[in-house]
Amino acid sequence: MKNYKVLKAAAKLTLEKVDDTKYKITRKMYDPETGEALDDKVTIAYVEFIDGIISGLTEHIEASTSEKEDWVQLKEDLDGLG
């Protein structure tokens, strides 16, 4: 969840276990212009879904790291030509 650590530290969300694989995330919402409290946003999160996101992000990071290494090697080879 994007910005989870910040929201947690600011006590802007609560977590509740529904069952062994399902959780309820309640997030405080505010009008950005007035700061007025709005209705809370409730999201149901499943462990399998979260595991899938983590796995996908890990794969993306690994692919990006590999691509970066290729670009760094190319630059070093080009710099080596003088």
Phi, psi of 14 (to 5 degrees): -130, 150
What is the pLDDT at residue 82? 83
3-state secondary structure of 58: helix
Q: Which residues contact 48 (CB under 8 A, 6 or more apart)?
A: 21
- Below-70 pLDDT ranges, the chain: none
Strands (E), 1-82: 13-17, 22-30, 37-46
What is the pLDDT at residue 54? 97
Q: Is the pTM of this model over 0.75?
A: no
Question: What is the spatial distance between Cα 54 and Cα 70, in angstroms, rounded to a whole number?
Answer: 24
Segments forming the whole domain that contains residue 33: 4-80
Tally of domains in the chain: 1
Phi, psi of 15 (to 5 degrees): -115, 140
